[in-house]
Amino acid sequence: MSIKERFGTNLRRARRKAGLTQEEVALLVEMDRGKISNFETGKGTPRLDTLLKLMGALDCRADELVEGLAWRPDPMAYGRWEVGDA
């Protein structure tokens, strides 16, 4: 699972928990439904301002949307993303 896919899984879970459709979330964050769909299917990730709007629309914390994602720096080489199971 990629970073984008994991974020999408987390976003979909938070949206369903809030009892909202993609269309309703899109209206609340002032973007089209297709963009929300792209986030949920792992075809994109939001900018910081959009992440904050999503948190407000879904009444959730950032940690819910980034659950299972971590950056592991390595002083001797390039760091790497770690993606946990959904």
Retrieve residue 49's tokens: 């301002």
The number of CA neighbours under 13 Å toward the Cβ of 12 is 13
- Decide: pTM greater than 0.95: no
Cβ-proximal residues to 56 (8 Å cutoff; 6+ apart), any chain:
28, 29
Burial (CB count within 10 angstroms: exposed 0-12, middle 13-18, buried 19+), residue 39? buried
pLDDT tens series, the chain, 86 aa: 899 999 999 999 999 999 999 999 999 999 999 999 999 999 999 999 999 999 999 999 999 999 999 998 888 778 888 888 77
Rounded CA separation 71/18 (Å): 28
In which domain, by residue range, is 67 found? 3-83
Give the CATH number for residue 31: 1.10.260.40
- If one counts the domains in the chain, the total is 1
Residue 81, phi then psi, degrees to nearest 5 = -85, 140
pLDDT for the residue numbered 56: 97
Helix ranges, 41-85 (H): 48-58, 62-65
